């Protein structure tokens, strides 16, 4: 059986529970039109909205079978099969690079528009080992009182509890991978 997209899993589970789009939309406080866009891969739900949907559908976010269903789970995650999450109130997109959220480490590719808001609040304060590798653009990272500018091809490794600021420099968008253990989801 091929991997089922998150949008299809939401729609399938909603129908299993005999909920209309309007009913689910009301329970998670979005418009039926926006829910329809999510179910048809025209919109990416925020992490906050995905949590609300998973609660209403009775499918915990940590259940990777809800997020990405497959009988034959593959360790390979294809580019067009990545779970995409949107950070609430921003244009920051997290793409899950691992096939299973039950692992002790999260690995994401993150895309931030130029000058986009600070990710530190979303990622800390928590004690977690963090490694970031910059694919494109530049990041400004503040750890404790130290500020680091890192650009394309640079990497940084740190304990997440020291993270005070993580922003894309205003000159251009940034794209980077971030690995964190223990998992944040």
Q: What is the pLDDT of residue 102?
A: 65
* Domain-embedded: residue 36: yes
| Residue 122, Cβ density class (10 Å: 0-12 exposed, 13-18 middle, ≥19 buried) | middle
Q: From 67, 89, 114, give the residue that closes a domain.
A: 67
Question: 108 and 42 in one domain?
Answer: no
* Domain-embedded: residue 91: no
| Residue 68, Cβ density class (10 Å: 0-12 exposed, 13-18 middle, ≥19 buried) | buried
* Domain-embedded: residue 97: no
Q: What is the pLDDT of residue 138?
A: 94
- What is d(CA 142, CA 120) in angstroms, rounded to the nearest whole number? 9
Q: What is the pLDDT of residue 184?
A: 66
* Domains held by the chain: number: 2
Q: From 52, 67, 82, give the residue that closes a domain.
A: 67
Q: What does R_g of the chain's alpha carbons equal in angstroms?
A: 17
What's the predicted TM-score (pTM) here?
Answer: 0.67
* Domain-embedded: residue 53: yes
Question: 59 and 13 in one domain?
Answer: yes
User: Highest-confidence range of 9-13, 150-154, 162-166, 172-176, by mean pLDDT?
Assistant: 150-154
Name the average pLDDT for the chain. 82
- What is d(CA 151, CA 60) in angstroms, rounded to the nearest whole number? 36
Q: Which domain holds residue 61?
A: 6-67
User: Highest-confidence range of 54-58, 88-92, 150-154, by mean pLDDT?
Assistant: 150-154
* Domain-embedded: residue 94: no
- What is d(CA 135, CA 45) in angstroms, rounded to the nearest whole number? 24
Query: Mean pLDDT, to the nearest integer, of 83-95?
Result: 77
Other Cβ atoms less than 10 A from the Cβ of 39: the count is 20
Chain position carrying tokens 């999510």? 38
Question: 114 and 162 in one domain?
Answer: yes
- Annotate 12-33 with three-state secondary structure: HHHHHCCCCHHHHHHHHCCCHH
* Domain-embedded: residue 92: no
DSSP H or E run through 148: strand 146-151
Q: From 16, 43, 67, give the residue that closes a domain.
A: 67
Q: What is the pLDDT of residues 7-65, one digit of tens each?
A: 888 888 899 999 999 999 999 999 999 899 888 877 778 777 887 898 898 876 655 45
CATH number at residue 128: 2.60.120.10
Query: Mean pLDDT, to the nearest integer, of 102-130?
Result: 79
CATH number at residue 36: 1.10.260.40
| Residue 149, Cβ density class (10 Å: 0-12 exposed, 13-18 middle, ≥19 buried) | exposed
Question: 51 and 114 in one domain?
Answer: no
* Domain-embedded: residue 52: yes
* Domain-embedded: residue 78: no
Nearest to 87 by CA among 126, 119, 115, 64: 119
Q: What is the pLDDT of residue 71?
A: 47
Question: 109 and 162 in one domain?
Answer: yes
- Residue 182 near residue 128, CB atoms below 8 Å: yes
- DSSP label at residue 117: P
Q: What is the pLDDT of residue 96?
A: 86
User: Highest-confidence range of 71-75, 150-154, 178-182, by mean pLDDT?
Assistant: 150-154
Question: 172 and 110 in one domain?
Answer: yes
């Amino acid at each position: 059986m091929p991997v089922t997209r998150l949008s299809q899993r939401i729609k399938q589970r909603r129908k299993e529970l005999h909920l209309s789009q309007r009913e689910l939309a009301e329970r998670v406080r979005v418009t039926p039109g926006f829910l329809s866009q999510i179910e048809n891969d025209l919109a990416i739900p925020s992490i906050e909205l995905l949590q609300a949907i998973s609660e209403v559908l009775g499918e915990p976010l940590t259940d990777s079978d809800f997020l990405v269903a497959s009988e034959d789970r593959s360790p390979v995650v294809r580019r067009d099969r990545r779970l995409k999450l949107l950070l609430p109130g921003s244009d920051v997109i997290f793409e899950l690079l691992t096939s299973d959220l039950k692992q002790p480490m999260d690995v994401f590719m993150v895309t931030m528009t130029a000058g986009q808001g600070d990710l530190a609040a979303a990622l800390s304060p928590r004690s977690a080992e963090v490694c970031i590798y910059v694919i494109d653009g530049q990041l400004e990272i503040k750890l404790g009182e130290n500020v680091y500018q890192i650009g394309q091809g640079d990497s940084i490794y740190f304990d997440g509890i020291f993270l005070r600021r993580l922003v894309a420099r205003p000159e251009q968008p940034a794209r980077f991978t971030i690995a964190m253990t223990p998992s944040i989801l």
